[in-house]
Amino acid sequence: MDKKKELTVGGVELKWDLETGDVLFENGDVVFFWISAMKTFFDTIKEISGVEATKLVFETTGFRQGLIVGEGFRDMKNIDTTNVVEWLSNTYATAGWGKVEIKEIDIENDTFSLYIQDDWEYKMNQLDDKNTKGIFVPSHYAGVLSGLFQKNYWYKILQYQDEDHPHSIVKYFPSEVSIQHNIHELSRRQEAEKIAQLEDLVNDKTKALQDLVKELSSPIIPVLEGIIVVPMIGIYDRERTEDLLDNILIQLPKYQAKYLLLDLTGLNGNMCEHTAAAIDKLGSAARLLGTEVILVGISAELALTITKTLTNLKEYECLQSLQHGIYYALGKSGRRIV
């Protein structure tokens, strides 16, 4: 039995060597696959890469594969625009890629229109997902033309093969669009998406933190009947000041507070004019509700600051510690601790 077989179809040579297991297509090693096996391969890529990345993977692979074929056949066959039609049709039909014809050539503008029918990618998509549109084969021919004519070709799909159309129509033309450009575009989009996701995450965490700060910041502590304490901690910007005023003024009638002790110990010397104005505004509003504001936790440093620059706070009773403030409020209300 002859272990070596040779066959020429459409001017294309095929050779089989059963002893070595080699299959040669125009003297180049090839591998044959069932279409169902190719579908498994493609489905695996989709499963791993995701939809958008998969499209780029197929397009990039198809183009680069075609580029190798085009460069190889350019050197072997001396192909130009006069014989590319016959070569392309015979070569790819012989390889099982379906029927492909160049029906429109514009030599002046170097454009080609390919009519592609029953290619393996179309057949593969027909197995169970008839809505999937081919991209590997159209991009492959862009690579072939780029390799043949040593200039970058790109494509536009004008029509897909389906039940109403017997073939796909793809226009090919010289273009600055490249696979590298598309890869970079995808990378930028993915990077932008990740940045947007991180920004959303940061915003969510910031909002949660702000809500927590509002909840913990300046809590109202009722210590005795008619006496409440509010510790002031950190730096008060405009938003935090408004929260402070709203929270306290709403709660004063609830506790029937006669005395409001503002504990300034937690300010750590960060008493600025803005904070002082907030305290003064709170004192004026509380006074209208019948509540006297007493400042406690006054350090020597803070006392000097109030004396020199924050003179609007000198009208308030200022005491060194919270304990002194409670005793003071009790005394003014005619009570004492026994």
| Stretch 325-335: mean pLDDT | 86
The DSSP H or E segment spanning 328 is helix 322-332
Domains of the chain by residue range: 33-177, 217-332
User: Is the CATH number of domain 33-177 3.50.30.20?
Assistant: no
Q: What is the pLDDT of residue 137?
A: 93
Q: What are residue 115's DSSP bridge partners? A: 101, 169
- Mean pLDDT score of the chain, rounded to an integer? 82
Q: What is the pLDDT of residue 34?
A: 82
Say what percent of the chain tops pLDDT 70: 86
pLDDT digits (tens, 9 = 90+) for 20-45: 888 888 777 877 888 888 888 888 88
Report, at the CATH architecture level, how domain 217-332 is classified: 2-Layer Sandwich (3.30)
Q: What is the pLDDT of residue 214?
A: 62
| Stretch 331-338: mean pLDDT | 75
Question: How far apart, in Å, are the Cα atoms of 54 and each of 68, 99, 134, 260?
Answer: 21, 26, 12, 66
pLDDT digits (tens, 9 = 90+) for 224-283: 888 999 888 777 777 778 888 888 888 888 889 899 998 988 776 667 777 888 888 888
Q: How confident is the model at residue 6 (pLDDT cuts 50, 70, 90)?
A: confident
Q: What is the pLDDT of residue 40?
A: 87
Structure tokens at 5: 């077989």
pLDDT of residue 115 exceeding 90? yes
- In degrees to the nearest 10, what's the CA dihedral of 295, 300, 305, 307? 80
pLDDT digits (tens, 9 = 90+) for 138-189: 999 999 998 888 888 988 999 999 989 999 999 999 888 766 665 566 566 5
Question: Rounded to two decimals, what is the model's pTM?
Answer: 0.54
